[in-house]
Every structure is written in C-alpha cells, then in structure tokens.
Amino acid sequence: MRITSLLTSAVLALGLAGAAFAQDKTKVGFIYVGPKNDGGWSQHHHESALKMAEHFGDEIEFVFQESVPEGADAERVMTQMALSGVDLIFTTSFGYMDPTINVAKKFPNVKFEHATGYKTAPNVATYSARFYEGRAVMGHLAGKMTKTNKIGYIASFPIPEVIRGINSTFIHAKKANPDVELSVVWVSTWFDPAKEADATQALLDQGVDVVLAHTDSTAPLAKLKDAGGLGFGQAADMAEYGPAPRISSIIDEWAPYYILRTQAVIDGTWETSMTWDGIEQGMVGIGAFSDVIPEDVRAEAQGMVDAIVAGTYHPFTGPLKKQDGSDWLAEGEVADDGTLAGMNFYVEGMTGTIPN
Amino acid sequence: MDLSAINPLILIASLMVAATPILLAALGELVVEKAGVLNLGVEGMMITGAICGFAVAVETQNPLLGFIGAAIGGALLSLLFGVLTQYLLSNQVATGLALTLFGLGLSAMIGQSYSGVTPPPTSKVDLGALADIPVIGRILLQHDLMVYFSLALVVAVWAFLKFTRAGLILRAVGESHDAAHALGYKVVRVRLLAIMFGGACAGLGGAYLSLIRVPQWTEGMTAGAGWIALAIVVFASWKPMRVLLGAYLFGGVTVLQLNLQAAGLDVPVQVLSMSPYLITILVLVIMSSGKGRASQNAPAALAKSFHASS
C-alpha cells in the first residue's frame, strides 16, 4: 500500500514538475482514434496538425497519440497528456466526448477541443464540419451515376453526425433519381478494414453499384476497385483511387481551425465555443470530380457547391417529412442547427430503422 | 421476413473468403497448442504476415511470392517467441502477448511506405467449364488458390495428427513432455517446428487479408482476427474439422448479417452485430460439452515450460 501511494505521488509530482517546466512554450496535443496513416479520418487530422505545427515552428511543442480506443483508455491518455504539461488537447473522435468532459473537470487550466461532439464546458470547446453539405453533393452524384438504382451506405455508429450524412445523401440522390434506393449497413466500428471490405462486398452482392462510406479506412474503395463499382473519398481525398472507383470526395480541412485555436491559447484569448463550419468557410472541401462523371452532372454538382457557398441553398430545405410520415419542414423552410445537431430520425422514403 | 433477397450461393462463396484468414491462423495455432505451447501472439504474427506478404507481392508483382513471403515473415516472428520460450524458458502467456504488441509495431514500421498502394491481383483458379456447373460451380469452384489451400491444410493437419508417427510424437510432446523426453524425442525441436508452422499459417492468414479480402495495406488491419482464431481453437476443442466449422460459422454469420442489412431486412442491428460471436461460441460449446472426451481435450502440457534437467 505504502509503496503504491509513494509511487503515485512520485508520478504526480513528476507530472506537476513537467507542467511547470513547460509553461514557457505552448504544448499542443492530439488524440486520434485510428492509426495516423489510416488514409482517412485520423490521417487527415494528423496532417492538419502537422500543418499547424509547421505554421508555428519553434513557438509550440506538438505531441500526439494514435489508435486510442474510445472509452476508459481515452480518459487515461488525456490525463497523461494533461499531466505532462500539454496546454491544449484536441480529441478527434465523437466517442471521446464524455472522457473529454471528465478529464477537463480535473484540469481547469488545460484547454480541450472536442471534434464532432455537443458537450462544452468553460475549458472545453467543440468543433465540427458540416459534412452533410458535402454529402448532399455526393448524394446527387450517386443518384446520377447508379445504373442499378441501388446505392449503398456503410455507416459506423448511429450518432447524429452519421444520420445527418445518410439523410442528406438520400434526399439528394432521390432528387437526382426518383427510382433510387439506399441500403444502409451498420458496421459498429470506425476502423476495421476487413469488415468495411466485407460490407462493401455484401452491398455489391445485393446489386448496389455506388457505395458511400462513413468509416475511416480506404478499404471500401480498395474493394470497389477490385470488384467493380463507384465510391467516394471520405475525410481525405483518396485521390489514389481515382478516376474510378473514387469519383469525388469530401475532404476535412482542419488546419486553419487548429492554427486559429492554438494562436488563441498562445495569446491567452482562448474561450469555449461551438464551431460548425461548412464548405463556405473551407472546413469541408469537395474533391475534384472525376472524368468518369458526365460533363452535365459535374456541372450540376458544381452548381450545388456554389449555391451552398453563396448561401442560397441549404441541403435540408423543405418540404421534408420524417420517415414516419410526420411533417418536419414546410415548403421553403430550412432546418435549424439545433435539430440538425441532434438528428435521430430518417427522412421520408428511407427504409430500415436506426439502431439505438 | 423476406429472405429471398439473399442469394445463398453468393453468400456461401463470400463466407469462404471471409473465413479463410481465421481458418489459416487457427489451424496453425491448433498445431502449436497440440505440441503443448500456448502462443498468444497470433494477432501479431498475422499482421506481420499481412505486411510481409503485401510488400513482397508489390515489389515482385507476384501474389504467390507474396504469400510465401508472408509465411516466412510469420515464421520468423514466431521463431523469436520460440527461442524466448523454449531456450530461455520465458513465460508463454506474457511472451505471446508481447509478440502481438511487437508484431503490431513492427508491421506499422515496415508498412509506412505501403499505404495507398494497390497489390497485384490474385487470379482465381481457372477450372474451365467446371466453374459453370450449377450450384457447386458457384460455391466451390470459383475461388482463389488460398481458399483451396486452406481446405487442403485442414485435411492435412487432421491426417497428420491422427495417422502419422510424427503427429503422434507431436501429440506426445504436448501431452507429457517428460515422457516424450524420456523416450528420446527432442521436445524443444518438435515444439520449435510447431511454433514456426503456426507462425507461417498466421502469416498466410494475414496476407489473405491484405492481398485478397480487402485488398490493401492499412496499419492495424487485422483488427482482432488473431484473437478470434485463438478462441476458435479452444472452442473447437483442438480438433481440425471443428476449427473449420468454427471459422466458417464465424465468417458465415459475419457475412450473413452484413447481407441482411444490405438487403434491408428489419432486424435489430445490435443483435446482428453480436451474432457471429454468440452463435459460434454457442455451437462449439454445445458440441464439446457432454460426457465425451471432447471437453477434456486440452493438451495436458499446454503452456508448461520444459527443460531437460527437470
């Protein structure tokens, strides 16, 4: 007992000493859910973080931890980072939400930035991108490009961010092609290349020929390249799979935000906030349209991008009903951010139910 | 519930693909455990095989050489485990766990320049007109070489353990290393060979993931398949044919649940997601329960260290 308590206090003392030494230089930490070279979500966070580190050069110290499971392990890693004197910690997965809030309570002087969540605190800010704007464009392309009128969607977990993406995709695919059907496969993981590939194969077996994915690896595109079919880059451009199967992509651009927030910590002006930026602010990028897409469809997609940037078009514009047939948005009405942030329902025409 | 949307022929064909990595790894581990060694490093050897096979296949543009490279890579890594546990008498459980961590790190290092690379395609075995036979043709005769290899390996391992003298010696070493030693058999040498065979099989399983099933290299891509293989060996009560059943059951339910979702059937996703684990364990446990010898089939000297002086 005594030895363990001695050790614990020694570790604590070391951590505090580390914190004291590090005060002259701002230390910025990142936590990723997958490996930093997963080709998608985590890799793009890492690349954006590297851009940020490059921007500040010697002014800051940059640390990161990859492949951190969501849950208790995440809390341990965050605590360790905070103890080692990190001033600003970016936790880059939805499942880090509660761990981030818990750890932030214990370290009021450390600033936390949680990606894609909805819980804030005086020292916890959230940031996310309006991926659904990108999904609208991808949905339109999918609706136009499918020959079998069946498109597939590999979904990770039933959280609002994912459900928003599915709805946005479906609404715009349906507009582009009224006969289209959307099959959703939930794989209950962000990162498992074999399972993502199996899910892609299962969709292809069901006659799907265009697959969208909301998981982190490039496995769905690798499978499509092997077995035939079209898909999209997700989180990263994944241009190495172009011109087919990858016909366009949604790219997450985190670097400007990381630079902005780190600067705020250096200046001492950091405040909690909820950032939710889209194509207009540059947080969501649309990857180049492949030549495989006919000229006129490319023009339509570009037109949609331009309209979203100009603010003349919102992907969730009425008339829209919920899946159960109840009214949601009246003609011309635009969804408010609160409903979108907590979206837990499918829109009319979707089949299947959302797991809970 | 409308099941007509699912074509059983395609389903069976794709479950064989999904099950092959686990089947190969589990077969290797079965032989290792039959020799009285518990190697928990299957996951590490699989992922090392995945990148070794991928790298060799990409560099030579020959998938067959890739699989050979994967087997060698897995065997080399397992040799590390073999030397530590057989000559230096380290704890097998701890060493095996360390091997998994080491394999994950090593593969990430080797694989740095291979993400985003497309491997050369592995051709299907061309059986000509046979492949067009109704039902059987679609299920059995349109696969790649590794699927047939894994099935042949099941039979080979079964026959080796049951009918050959070498298999008898291997089992003797696994049941009582002291008795085998007293009879003049080289316990350590037999175990080292078994460990290397296990490593090679795990490596092949990993390469099947990176070269055929996905096909790409991604860090951490085995995502727990090695642990499933380990569990299947135990639940199959160390019998090769039951390992085949367990692997195909697991692969089958995994593929089936994805297909059910893709076909839009209204079944709760949580139930579907846990079904592969649940069904595989249930079936194998029920099979090995009862008064038969199956439930006490574990090799008696499993995970015990051997030194000639004791």
Q: Does residue A21 register a pLDDT over 60?
A: no
Q: A185: which chain B residues are within 8 Å (Cβ-Cβ)?
A: 258, 261-262
Type of residue found at B158: W
Asked if the structure places residue A273 within a domain, the reply is no
Q: Does residue A163 register a pLDDT over 90?
A: yes
Chain A residue closest in CA terms to B271: A355
Asked if the structure places residue B148 within a domain, the reply is yes
pTM here is 0.82
Asked if the structure places residue A322 within a domain, the reply is yes
Q: What is the pLDDT of residue B131?
A: 74
Q: Are residues A63 and A198 in the same domain?
A: no
Asked if the structure places residue A105 within a domain, the reply is yes
Q: Do A186 and B261 touch (CB under 8 A)?
A: yes
Chain B residue closest in CA terms to A153: B262
Q: Are residues A241 and A191 in the same domain?
A: yes
Q: How many structural domains compose chain A?
A: 2
Q: What is the pLDDT of residue A79?
A: 95
CB contact B14 to A (< 8 Å):
yes
Asked if the structure places residue B57 within a domain, the reply is yes
Q: Do B258 and A34 touch (CB under 8 A)?
A: no
Tokens 């019998």 sit on residue: B239
Q: Are residues A77 and A184 in the same domain?
A: no
Q: How far is A340 from chain B (nearest CA, A)?
A: 23
Asked if the structure places residue B196 within a domain, the reply is yes
Q: What is the pLDDT of residue B310?
A: 62
Q: Do B273 and A37 touch (CB under 8 A)?
A: no
Q: Are residues A314 and A238 in the same domain?
A: yes
Q: Domain residues for B17?
A: 8-296
Q: How far is B196 from chain A (nearest CA, A)?
A: 25
Q: Are residues A72 and A179 in the same domain?
A: no
Q: A212: which chain B residues are within 8 Å (Cβ-Cβ)?
A: none
Chain A, 206-225: which have a CB under 8 Å from a chain B CB? 206, 208, 217-219, 222-223, 225
C-alpha distances (whole Å) from A119 to each of A46, A100, A112 are: 23, 9, 11
A5 pLDDT tier (thresholds 50, 70, 90): low
Task: Among A105, A129, A153, give the residue marking a domain's end.
Answer: A129
Q: How far is B216 from chain A (nearest CA, A)?
A: 6
User: Angle at CA A77, nearest 5°, toward A74 and A82?
Assistant: 125
Cα dihedral A149, A155, A160, A161, rounded to 10, equals -90
- Strand A284-286 to strand A246-252: parallel, antiparallel, or no bridges (unpaired)? antiparallel
Rounded mean pLDDT of A13-37? 71
Q: Are residues A93 and A217 in the same domain?
A: no
Q: What is the pLDDT of residue A17?
A: 46
Q: Do A198 and B118 touch (CB under 8 A)?
A: no
| Integer Cα distance of B294 and B272 in angstroms | 29
| Integer Cα distance of B92 and B299 in angstroms | 15
Residue B54 has which token pair? Answer: 């991928």
Asked if the structure places residue A27 within a domain, the reply is yes
Q: Which of A39, A152, A219 sits opposite B262 (nearest CB)?
A: A152
Pairs of CB atoms within 8 A across A/B: 113
Which pLDDT tens digit goes with each residue over B223-234? 889 999 998 998
Q: B222: which chain A residues are within 8 Å (Cβ-Cβ)?
A: 194
Task: Among A129, A150, A185, give the residue marking a domain's end.
Answer: A129
Q: How far is B268 from chain A (nearest CA, A)?
A: 7
Q: How many structural domains compose chain B?
A: 1
Asked if the structure places residue B305 within a domain, the reply is no
CB contact B115 to A (< 8 Å):
yes
DSSP bridge pairs for A275: A127
Q: Are A286 and A249 in contact (CB under 8 A)?
A: yes
Q: Are residues A142 and A201 in the same domain?
A: yes
C-alpha distances (whole Å) from A237 to each of A34, A40, A299, B100 are: 17, 8, 20, 32
Q: Give the residue ranges of chain B where pLDDT is below 50.
A: 1
CA B25 to chain centre: 1
| Integer Cα distance of B304 and A265 in angstroms | 56
Asked if the structure places residue B158 within a domain, the reply is yes
Q: Are residues A234 and A318 in the same domain?
A: yes
Rounded mean pLDDT of A13-22? 47
Which pLDDT tens digit goes with each residue over A45-80? 999 999 999 999 989 999 999 989 888 889 999 999
Q: Domain residues for A301?
A: 131-252+283-341
Asked if the structure places residue B113 within a domain, the reply is yes
Q: Are residues A50 and A169 in the same domain?
A: no
Q: Are residues A49 and A195 in the same domain?
A: no
Asked if the structure places residue B169 within a domain, the reply is yes
Q: A229: which chain B residues are within 8 Å (Cβ-Cβ)?
A: none
Q: How far is A7 from chain B (nearest CA, A)?
A: 24
Task: Among A90, A112, A129, give the residue marking a domain's end.
Answer: A129
Those residues whose C-beta lies under 8 Å from the C-beta of residue A49, and which sit 6 or more positions away, are A28, A30, A62, A64, A90, A254, A255, A258
Could you tell me the sign of the dihedral formed by the alpha carbons of A167, A171, A177, A178, in that order? positive
Q: Are residues A104 and A195 in the same domain?
A: no
Q: Does residue A13 register a pLDDT over 60?
A: no
Q: How far is A276 from chain B (nearest CA, A)?
A: 30
Q: Are residues A94 and A160 in the same domain?
A: no
CB contact B112 to A (< 8 Å):
yes
Asked if the structure places residue B2 within a domain, the reply is no
Beta strands per DSSP E along chain A: 26-31, 60-65, 88-91, 111-115, 124-129, 150-155, 181-186, 210-213, 230-235, 246-252, 274-277, 284-286, 320-321, 327-329
Q: Does residue A125 register a pLDDT over 60?
A: yes
- Show the 3-state SS of B32-98: HHHCCCCCCCHHHHHHHHHHHHHHHHHHHCCHHHHHHHHHHHHHHHHHHHHHHHHHCCCCHHHHHHH
C-alpha distances (whole Å) from B251 to each of A317, A333, B71 are: 43, 47, 22
Chain A, 163-202: which have a CB under 8 Å from a chain B CB? 181, 183-189, 191-195, 197-199, 201-202
Q: What is the pLDDT of residue A152?
A: 95
| Integer Cα distance of B96 and B136 in angstroms | 41
Q: B14: which chain A residues are within 8 Å (Cβ-Cβ)?
A: 198, 201-202, 205
CATH number, domain of A184, equals 3.40.50.2300
| Integer Cα distance of B82 and B72 in angstroms | 15
Give long-range contacts, CB 8 A cutoff, 24+ apart: B61-70: B61/B120, B62/B120, B63/B119, B63/B120, B63/B121, B63/B122, B63/B211, B64/B145, B66/B119, B66/B120, B66/B207, B66/B211, B67/B146, B67/B204, B67/B207, B67/B211, B69/B207, B70/B203, B70/B204, B70/B206, B70/B207
Asked if the structure places residue A355 within a domain, the reply is no
CATH number, domain of B207, equals 1.10.3470
Give B216's Cβ-side CA count (13 Å radius).
Answer: 29
